[in-house]
């Protein structure tokens, strides 16, 4: 599984209908160790800029990460 | 540009911005266009082309093919009428292309009109429509549940991390723009707020709260662009448009917008001046952090200092460089496609000395910055009177 570092994050409280049931949820941009930056969700414990995360694999049509 | 002649704004017209349940998109556009024609003392048949700025009329109202829909309602029949879409910079993009055509001698007189009718949709649907200005592809930012507030929230978080910007700095922008909006009879939100109110407001996307976000609005703005100057006209001293990645995750840095810097650089070069010669500015404060980043990218503040300077009053009405004396998108309202044109209308009123209670003392040269999405389009325009430069 890919690992990386949180570049930035936010917790979303106001969402479109299709994500409303998930609120509040955390969206992150992650700098992958192998290069490149991707958008995804952080699942479980909230993360902050600089935290190390691991990809959990595809979750629906978005990437999910968890704190290492 | 191969050849270029002076181009001026010779007429302006706006509707009020707000929530107008009884008004449809076309009636707003016609009101603004009619006012601009009257202000320029022109009959509709003098207009040779319509450049329409509109972000998402089809999604908000189901009406497409908007430009001829509006030009014919304004009795400007038969003329080329085209809609420009560049997210929140749709109005600015329409203006930029209208300017090119007049400057190149294709037309003598054209109308630029921006309009958006948003409040006919419930807020979650508005949020979803606005998401269309980001990367909606599989695995992208919007698929992960981003919203526009959340993209700018991530920009704010990073700006705080890199530069020590604080929520108090964001609140200072909201407090200032609300105070300016109180003076503006056309503003949607005429309400003073305190820093404490801004800081304790309901969270939208952390760290952004309700008062960090601009409004959902109906409204239209129009102007006449002409090769003939004189009278109450105001010259376009510089204008440029630039673009960048749509997806936030594709940008090497999210605390500066290359499209803003590029458009500003070209507009300043065209006007033959630098940021120190700008008397006042209307910048794209879709979110408080956007105003802070804009003041840095436009050269009014050093990188990272925009928030500190907002808190110190540098951008207040009586500060070194008044920013958003109109109340900005924050208080004036943000009918997306109208915003870029409305900024220019507000600047023309200042430059004419015709801004009533909003009038600033220093008002020879103004700059407008209109941003699309999370920085993928930017239009920067400098207006003024060449004689005073």
**If contacts are CB pairs under 8 Å, which of residues 187-246 in chain B contact chain A?**
202-208
**Residue with token string 């920013």:** B323
Asked if residues B383 and B347 have their Cβ atoms less than 8 Å apart, the reply is yes
Q: What is the DSSP letter of B323?
A: B
Among B73, B65, B115, B92, CA closest to B225: B92
Are B350 and B363 in contact by the 8 Å Cβ rule? The answer is yes
- Whether residues A29 and B147 touch (CB distance < 8 A) is answered with no
Question: Judging by beta carbons within 10 Å of its beta carbon (0-12, 13-18, 19+), is residue A62 exposed, middle or buried?
Answer: buried
Of A6, A10, A65, which to mutate for an interface test with B (greatest number of B Cβ within 10 Å)? A10
Per-residue pLDDT 10s for chain B (389 aa) are: 446 899 999 999 999 999 999 999 999 999 999 999 999 999 999 999 999 999 999 999 999 999 999 999 999 999 999 999 999 999 999 999 999 999 999 999 999 999 999 999 999 999 999 999 999 999 899 999 999 999 999 999 999 999 999 999 999 999 999 999 999 999 999 999 999 999 999 999 999 999 999 999 999 999 999 999 878 999 999 999 999 999 999 999 999 999 999 999 999 999 999 999 999 999 999 999 999 999 999 999 999 999 999 999 999 999 999 999 999 999 999 999 999 999 999 999 999 999 999 999 988 999 999 999 999 999 999 999 888 77
* Domain B8-122+216-226 indexed as CATH 3.30.450.260: no
Residue with tokens 């949020």: B127
What pLDDT score does B386 carry? 81
Q: Which residues 6+ apart lie within 8 Å of B252 measured at CB?
A: none
Q: How many residues does chain B have?
A: 389
Best residue in B133, B144, B150 for a mutation probing chain A (most A CBs within 10 Å): B144
The reply to whether residue B250 touches residue A11, judged by beta carbons under 8 angstroms, is no
- pLDDT value, residue B2: 47
Instruction: Give the model's pLDDT for residue A60.
Output: 79
Contacts of A41 in chain B (CB under 8 A): 144-145
Min Cα distance A34 → chain B (Å) is 15
Looking at residue A58, its pLDDT comes to 67
**pLDDT score of B3:** 60
Judged by a CB distance cut-off of 8 A, whether residue A13 touches chain B is yes
- CA nearest to A48 within chain B: B157
Task: Tell me whether residue B361 is exposed, middle or buried, using C-beta atoms within 10 angstroms of its C-beta: 0 to 12, 13 to 18, 19 or more.
Answer: exposed
Query: Of the candidates B273, B275, B326, B280, which has an alpha carbon nearest to the alpha carbon of residue B298?
Result: B275
**For residue A41, pLDDT beyond 70:** yes
Q: Do B124 and A20 touch (CB under 8 A)?
A: yes
CA B368 – CA B127 distance, rounded (Å)? 25
- What pLDDT score does B292 carry? 98
Residue A62 to chain B, least CA–CA distance (Å):
4
The pLDDT of residue B229 is 84
b/e B136-169 (16+ beta carbons within 10 angstroms → b) = eeeebbbbbbbbbbbbbbbbbbbbbeebebebeb
CB contact A7 to B (< 8 Å): yes
Which CATH code fits A3-67? 2.40.50.840
Is any Cβ of chain B less than 8 angstroms from the Cβ of A49? yes
Residue with tokens 């008397």: B279
The pLDDT assigned to B385 comes to 85
Residue B372 and residue B242: Cα distance in Å, rounded?
10
CA nearest to A5, candidates A52, A55, A66: A52
Name chain A contacts of B143, Cβ cutoff 8 Å: 39, 60-62
Query: What residues in B contact A12, CB-CB < 8 Å?
Result: 145-147, 149-150, 153, 205
A47 touches chain B (CB under 8 A): no
Asked whether the beta carbons of B304 and B163 are under 8 A apart, the reply is yes
B chain contacts of residue A40, beta-carbon cutoff 8 Å: 144
Taking an 8 Å cut-off on Cβ atoms, the answer to whether B144 and A15 are in contact is: no
Any idea where the domains of chain B sit in the sequence?
8-122+216-226
Contact A13, B205 (CB under 8 A): yes
**ipTM of predicted assembly, 2 dp:** 0.98
pTM, full prediction: 0.98
Dihedral angle sign, alpha carbons of residues B321, B327, B333, B335: negative
**Three-state SS at B26:** helix
């Amino acid at each position: 599984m890919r690992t990386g570092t949180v570049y930035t994050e936010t917790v979303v409280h106001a969402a479109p209908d299709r994500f409303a049931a998930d609120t509040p949820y955390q969206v992150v941009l992650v700098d992958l160790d192998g290069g490149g930056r991707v958008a995804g969700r952080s699942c479980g414990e909230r993360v902050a800029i600089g935290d190390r995360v691991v990809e959990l694999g595809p979750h629906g049509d978005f990437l999910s990460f968890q704190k290492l | 540009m191969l050849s270029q002649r002076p181009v001026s704004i010779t007429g302006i017209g706006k509707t009020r911005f707000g929530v107008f349940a009884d008004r449809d998109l076309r009636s707003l556009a016609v009101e603004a266009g009619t006012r601009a024609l009257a202000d320029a003392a022109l009959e509709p048949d003098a207009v040779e082309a319509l450049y329409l700025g509109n972000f998402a009329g089809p999604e908000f109202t189901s009406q497409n093919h908007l430009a001829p829909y509006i030009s014919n309602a304004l009795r400007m029949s038969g003329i080329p009428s085209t809609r420009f879409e560049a997210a929140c910079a749709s109005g600015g993009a329409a203006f930029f292309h209208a300017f090119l055509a007049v400057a190149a001698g294709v037309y003598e007189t054209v109308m630029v009109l921006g309009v958006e009718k948003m409040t006919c949709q419930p807020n979650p649907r508005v949020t979803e429509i606005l998401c269309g200005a980001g990367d909606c592809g599989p695995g992208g930012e919007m698929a992960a549940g981003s919203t526009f507030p959340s993209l700018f929230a991530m920009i704010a978080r990073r700006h705080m991390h890199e530069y020590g910007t604080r929520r108090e700095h964001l609140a200072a922008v909201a407090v200032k723009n609300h105070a300016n909006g109180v003076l503006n009879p056309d503003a949607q939100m005429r309400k003073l707020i305190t820093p404490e109110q801004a800081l304790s407001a309901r969270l939208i996307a952390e760290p952004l709260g309700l008062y960090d976000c601009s409004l959902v609005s109906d409204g239209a703005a129009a102007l006449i662009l002409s090769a003939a100057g004189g009278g109450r006209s105001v010259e376009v001293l510089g204008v440029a448009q630039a673009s960048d990645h749509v997806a936030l995750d594709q940008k090497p840095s999210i605390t500066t917008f290359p499209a803003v810097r590029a458009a500003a650089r070209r507009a300043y070069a065209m006007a033959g001046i630098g940021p120190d010669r700008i008397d006042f500015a209307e910048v794209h404060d879709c979110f408080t952090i956007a105003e802070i980043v804009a003041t840095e990218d436009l050269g009014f503040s050093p990188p990272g200092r925009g928030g500190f300077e907002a808190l110190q009053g540098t951008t207040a009405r009586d500060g070194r460089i008044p920013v958003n004396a109109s109340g900005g998108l924050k208080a004036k309202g943000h009918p997306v496609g109208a915003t870029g044109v409305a900024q220019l209308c507000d600047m023309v009123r200042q430059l004419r000395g015709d801004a009533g209670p909003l009038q600033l003392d220093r008002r020879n040269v103004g700059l407008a910055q209109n941003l699309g999405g999370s920085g993928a389009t930017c239009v920067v325009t400098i207006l003024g009177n060449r004689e005073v430069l």
